[in-house]
Chain A
Amino acid sequence: MTTTPAGPMLEISGLSVYYGNIAAVKGLNLTVNEGEIITLIGSNGAGKSTTLRTVSGLIRPRSGAVTFLGQRIDSLPAHDVVKRGLAQSPEGRRIFPRMTVAENLDLGAFLRNDKAGIAQDQERMLELFPRLRERISQKAGTLSGGEQQMLAVARALMARPRLLLLDEPSMGLAPVLVDVIFATIRRIREQGTTVLLVEQNARAALSVADRAYVLESGTIKLSGNARELRNDPEIAKAYLGG
Chain B
Amino acid sequence: MAQSPTAAASLPKSRLRLSAYGERVAAYTILAAVFAWLVVNFLDNPQQFLSAAVFGISNGALYALIALGYSLVYGIIELINFAHGDLFMLGTLFSGFIITVVFGSKAMSAMGWVAFLVALVLVILFCASINMSIEFLAYRRLRHAPKLAPLITAVGMSFVLQFVGLKWNGSTQKSQPSVLPQGYIDLGGVRIYTSFLIVLAVTIPILGLMTWIVTKTRMGKAMRATAQDQDAARLMGVNVNRIISFTFGIGGALAGVAGLMYEQTVGTTRYDLGLQLGLIAFTAAVLGGIGSLPGAVLGGVLIGLIQGLNEGVRYGAGQRWTQSVVFSILILFMVFKPTGLMGVSMREKV
Q: Which residues of A contact B (CB under 8 A)?
A: 56-58, 77-79, 82-83, 87-88, 90, 94-99, 103, 106-108, 110-111, 155-156, 159
Contacts and interface: CB of A to CB of B under 8 A. Distances in A.
A87 B232 CA distance: 11
A99 to B, nearest CB: 6
9 contacts: A58-B234, A79-B240, A82-B237, A87-B235, A97-B228, A98-B224, A99-B225, A107-B236, A110-B236
Contacts of B234: 56-58, 77-79
B228 A98 contact: yes
Contact of B236 (A58, A77, A82, A98): A82
Interface of B: 218, 221-222, 224-225, 228-229, 231-240, 344
B293 to A, nearest CB: 12
A88 B229 contact: no
Given A79-B239, A111-B236, A111-B237, 19 more contacts: A56-B235, A58-B235, A78-B231, A78-B234, A82-B235, A82-B237, A88-B235, A96-B225, A96-B232, A97-B228, A107-B225, A107-B233, A107-B236, A110-B221, A110-B222, A110-B225, A110-B236, A156-B235, A159-B236
A108 B344 CA distance: 24
Contacts of A111: 236-237
Contacts of A107: 221-222, 225, 233, 236, 238
Nearest to B239: A79
B266 to A, nearest CB: 37
A155 B225 CA distance: 13
B192 to A, nearest CB: 38
Contacts of A57: 234
A88 B231 CA distance: 11
A99 B237 contact: no
Nearest to B226: A96
A37 to B, nearest CB: 20
A215 to B, nearest CB: 21
B71 to A, nearest CB: 15
Given A98-B344, A103-B221, A110-B222, A159 B231 contact: no
